Structure 1
Amino acid sequence: MDYEPTQADYLQRRELRRGAAGWILLAGLGVAYVVSGDFAGWNFGLAQGGWGGLAIAALLMGTMYTCMVFGLAELATAMPVAGAGYGFARRALGTLGGFATGTAILIEYAIAPAAIAVFIGGYVESLGLFGLTNGWPVYLACYLVFVGIHLWGVGEALKVMLGITAIAVVALLAFVVGMVPQFSFSNLLDIAPTDAWGASWFLPFGITGILAALVYGIWFFLAVEGVPLAAEEARDPKRDMPRGIIGALSVLLVFAALMLFVGPGAAGSDAMKASDNPLPHAVRTAFGGDNWLAQFINYVGLAGLVASFFSIIYAYSRMLFALSRAGYLPRGLSVTGRRKTPYLALIVPATIGFALAATTKNGALLINIAVFGATVSYVLMMLSHIVLRVREPDLPRPYRTPGGVVTTSVALVLATAAVVATFIVDPKAAAITAGIFVIALGYFWFYSRHHLVANAPEEEFAAIARAESELAGD
């Protein structure tokens, strides 16, 4: 590890807007990251595990996220930096561990919007808007409009995002209220059992179906862990960060349970298992044709997809900003403009995401790639919490995880299982993504670790830890 000298104004050209977000905006950001998962994506788990397999997978992943969020709330108050998970791992696991964590998070956040763009295209096509029969113009419009709003400024972007998220929540509530009268338990279990080991009407694809469904159980919660990325733009991260991220997860747990029961229970699991616009499709199936509710959910449901697309753009830009500012990735990517937004960190991943969405047009494939990155980062972040609790018990922690390392150990075990699940669902996609991850680690090992920036906040946290350790040794 080598540090390079930087110009006096290096950090001044890489400043974010401080004090832009209180805890309500942070909670709204957390819900926005994930709310698209209630509108599309989770239903593919029905094709992997049936309703029973997906229900068990969602319960396990809900447990994992609950345990993880408690751990991240502690880490975010101890180290409130824009790098979030990368910063936590940097202090606990060194530069290699920090870069590996940041890269995994970046894979998750760069690919997830591409998957959501595919779903937005599916909703638009189902409405017959603009006469579109191909989704790529929709993908392009999404990236151009919402990257543009982020370039405008973070405070404005977060307020727009909160408004869009509120509209999405209204659509979900309308779906639940409208579909409850059509609910029947028999609809949940209408996928016929296969000849897989342990198969039944509850688990039509057997025991392995549970593991395969983990990838889609995650989609109910994927990216809520990104709330700490706003730490440097929060008003009071030590107070607001735990309230924001825990509040967001609480809302998401409720909606995950509602979607899992009400949708398949009214329309049938078999009818929903392969749809790119499952909620409007479920309404039309349950009522035997189109109606006002299907149209309402279809139109307003776009807000949910847009909210997550919009907010995850924020997340990937902050992660790329932090890695670049510290020299792990090319430094030019972290330069901020007049409105204190990292414009290249917004534009470069958007270009990659659009290319992937337009060429694959496969939301399920992109989900698997995003989940691979996410679960690898979860393993490393939970390991970081455990290491810091053991190695630095006196580190100031304004918020402490209930249950301590036991809680984060549960999340660590479940995250490891989820990594394995990505290879079961799509071995080729997971292997290619793992290969890209290894190439990135090679870039770090042979180049960027020799060009780090000592006065980047995440590196300063690590330097303080080293100095304290040396003093204690003396």
Structure 2
Amino acid sequence: MKDSETSQLQKGAAGWFLLATLGVSYVISGSFAGWNFGFAVTSWFGMIIAVALMGLMYFCLVLCLAEMSAALPSAAGGYRISRKVMGDTGGFATALAVLLEYSIAPAAIVIFIGQYLEALLGINGPVVYAVFYLLFIGVHLLGAGEALRFMLVVTAFAVLAIAITLITLGPHFSLANLVIADSPEPAPQNLLAFDAVSVWTAFPFAMWLFLAVEGVPLAAEEAKDPAVDLPRGIIAAMLFLLISAFLIVVFVPGAATSEEVGDYGAPLVDAMKHVLGEDSVLADFVNLVGLAGLIASFFSIIFGYSRLVFAMSREGYLPRFMSAISSRKVPHWALIIPGVIGFICSLTGKGELMINIAVIGATLSYALQSISYILLKRNHADLHRPYSAPGGQKTAYVTLALSLLALTSCFAYDVGAALIALGLMGLGVGYYVVLGRRA
């Protein structure tokens, strides 16, 4: 077939609202598990500061990506800009960091899905992982429009679960639950207690409330009007996530105590059981519907990695056959091959390890994309920009500084995950040096 027939995605499959839903669905699993472990390393107010700083990092990143993706929309997302301003090697480094995040994160999420199913139905393990990979890659193979509409429904259920949780916990909120219990100081002072090192250590957990929202531009070639829809979609998603993140971090520990929340496996469900009792039907309902949050992120990140691999293959960073398109305008090999790799990773059963590896890839990519934005503003001032980020280069510098701080906190928290991430990045660089530039 001609290249135009084999490497062109389905146009017009998503407007700004579907793109915003995609951004929320990338992230929403982080509301159901992971963020609460931050309370094991810092106080409530320390966690609030960590969430605020990581929220600022993501908001600034989103503004920069909105400008870049509207100016140069591509399934390559932000790394297309990196390639333009830093050359093939800089573009590959950025793409590889994003790929590390997006290929490993589904493995972590499917492990968490298995844990939820074990609590609900008593089933877990490799068979569960395989079924979910096969099922949701299969849905994606039906076409982008079908996949995005399915994602909209699943995400709506996940948002419903969060809303029910917050409404239920609201009447049980107490400032006393946020206070450090074993401190001799008066409660009003304890409420605002924190130290800088603990806030820094909590960064990876705060990131789980926003991780992967930057994937919205990966759907650029399937947007109806990229110049308009991409900025609207990704900014709307980020605003929703900021609001939900602060509501969760305030009301969940405010009803169940910050100390207990740090030990919860499913913080929303466990907090409801804390205030309503272990036999609460409503808590069981949220437990069941909460599974939709994990499914939404699992499903949407599969969408994200497939578009990234498709773009990397089309531009010669990966074998060319991986940018082949099916009759339904879907990059089938870009869906299947990373899915097989992710399934193999899921067999470790170590969800937290997988997430930590993904977070390291994410922070590296944020730093590189913020540098790309700065270079684009300096060296390509004449480029037409349908949307301009408020603050310009200053916004990118905020992203750069906070992403580097977050990266160092990842290394401090889990050296093993850091070494694995560096090893995987090294393998990718080795491939690029030996074969990638000849692809």
Partner residue in 1 for 2:187: none
In 2: Cα distance, 1:113 partner to 1:276 partner: 18
Partner residue in 1 for 2:169: 179
Matches within 5 A, 1:335-350: 335-350=324-339
Partner residue in 2 for 1:305: 294
In 2: Cα distance, 1:281 partner to 1:324 partner: 44
In 2: Cα distance, 1:116 partner to 1:184 partner: 32
- TM-aligned CA deviation for residue 276 of structure 1: 3.0
2:402 to 414, 417, 424: 414
Partner residue in 2 for 1:363: 351
Partner residue in 2 for 1:74: 67
Matches within 5 A, 1:239-258: 239-258=228-247
- TM-aligned CA deviation for residue 192 of structure 1: 4.9
Contact 2:22/2:151, CA 8 A, preserved across alignment: yes
Contact 1:41/1:363, CA 8 A, preserved across alignment: no
Partner residue in 2 for 1:469: none
What SS class does the counterpart of residue 49 from structure 1 fall into?
coil
- TM-aligned CA deviation for residue 333 of structure 1: 1.4
What SS class does the counterpart of residue 328 from structure 2 fall into?
coil
- TM-aligned CA deviation for residue 287 of structure 1: 2.7
Runs of 4+ in 1 over 6 A off after TM superposition: none
Deviations 1:210-255 (A, max 9, x none): 1111011111111111100111111100011111000111111110
Contact 2:44/2:191, CA 8 A, preserved across alignment: no
In 2: Cα distance, 1:210 partner to 1:126 partner: 32
Query: Is 1:393 equivalent to 2:386 in the alignment?
Result: no
How many residues of Structure 1 are paired with residues of Structure 2 in the alignment?
A: 435
1:425 to 410, 413, 436: 413
In 2: Cα distance, 1:137 partner to 1:53 partner: 40
Query: Is 1:352 equivalent to 2:345 in the alignment?
Result: no
Letter in 1 for 2:390: P
Per the alignment, do residues 189 and 333 of structure 1 end up closer, same or farther by CA in structure 2, a change over 3 Å counting?
Answer: farther
- TM-aligned CA deviation for residue 304 of structure 1: 1.1
Q: Which moved more, 1:33-42 or 1:434-443?
A: 434-443
Query: Is 1:166 equivalent to 2:156 in the alignment?
Result: yes
Letter in 1 for 2:56: T
With structure 1 as the length reference, what TM-score do the two structures score? 0.88
Contact 1:32/1:165, CA 8 A, preserved across alignment: yes
- TM-aligned CA deviation for residue 202 of structure 1: 5.4
In 2: Cα distance, 1:440 partner to 1:274 partner: 36
- TM-aligned CA deviation for residue 86 of structure 1: 1.6
Contact 1:105/1:374, CA 8 A, preserved across alignment: yes
In 1: Cα distance, 2:327 partner to 2:43 partner: 51
Per the alignment, do residues 191 and 94 of structure 1 end up closer, same or farther by CA in structure 2, a change over 3 Å counting?
Answer: farther
In 2: Cα distance, 1:276 partner to 1:97 partner: 39
Contact 1:122/1:277, CA 8 A, preserved across alignment: no
2:202 to 210, 213, 221: 213
Query: Is 1:437 equivalent to 2:425 in the alignment?
Result: yes
Letter in 2 for 1:348: I
Partner residue in 1 for 2:140: 150
1:104 to 92, 97, 101: 97
- TM-aligned CA deviation for residue 290 of structure 1: 2.4
In 2: Cα distance, 1:60 partner to 1:81 partner: 29
Letter in 1 for 2:400: L
What SS class does the counterpart of residue 104 from structure 1 fall into?
helix
2:22 to 16, 26, 29: 29
Deviations 1:408-455 (A, max 9, x none): 11111101111111101101111220121122112212321233xxxx
What SS class does the counterpart of residue 28 from structure 2 fall into?
helix
Query: Is 1:62 equivalent to 2:55 in the alignment?
Result: yes
Partner residue in 2 for 1:196: none
In 2: Cα distance, 1:243 partner to 1:214 partner: 27
Letter in 1 for 2:381: P
In 2: Cα distance, 1:233 partner to 1:201 partner: 47
What SS class does the counterpart of residue 368 from structure 2 fall into?
helix
Contact 2:178/2:191, CA 8 A, preserved across alignment: no
Deviations 1:136-179 (A, max 9, x none): 33322221111110011100000010111111111111000001
Per the alignment, do residues 190 and 297 of structure 1 end up closer, same or farther by CA in structure 2, a change over 3 Å counting?
Answer: farther
Deviations 1:359-382 (A, max 9, x none): 1x2222222111100110000101
- TM-aligned CA deviation for residue 353 of structure 1: 1.6
What SS class does the counterpart of residue 43 from structure 1 fall into?
helix
Query: Is 1:141 equivalent to 2:147 in the alignment?
Result: no
Partner residue in 2 for 1:378: 366
Per the alignment, do residues 202 and 350 of structure 1 end up closer, same or farther by CA in structure 2, a change over 3 Å counting?
Answer: farther
Q: What are the ranges of 5 or more consecutive residues in structure 1 without an aligned counterpart?
A: 1-7, 194-199, 452-474
Partner residue in 2 for 1:334: 323
Letter in 1 for 2:261: M
- TM-aligned CA deviation for residue 64 of structure 1: 0.6
Per the alignment, do residues 269 and 125 of structure 1 end up closer, same or farther by CA in structure 2, a change over 3 Å counting?
Answer: farther
Letter in 2 for 1:341: V
1:16 to 6, 9, 33: 9
Partner residue in 1 for 2:79: 86
In 1: Cα distance, 2:75 partner to 2:215 partner: 10
In 1: Cα distance, 2:409 partner to 2:296 partner: 27
Contact 1:324/1:331, CA 8 A, preserved across alignment: yes
1:114 to 107, 110, 113: 107
Deviations 1:306-354 (A, max 9, x none): 1111101000000011001111111111111111111111111112222
Query: Is 1:283 equivalent to 2:276 in the alignment?
Result: no
In 2: Cα distance, 1:338 partner to 1:412 partner: 41
Deviations 1:12-38 (A, max 9, x none): 212211111111111111111111111
In 2: Cα distance, 1:437 partner to 1:343 partner: 24
In 1: Cα distance, 2:391 partner to 2:66 partner: 13
Partner residue in 2 for 1:269: 258
Contact 1:178/1:293, CA 8 A, preserved across alignment: no
Letter in 2 for 1:429: A
Contact 1:123/1:276, CA 8 A, preserved across alignment: no
Q: What are the ranges of 5 or more consecutive residues in structure 2 without an aligned counterpart?
A: 184-189
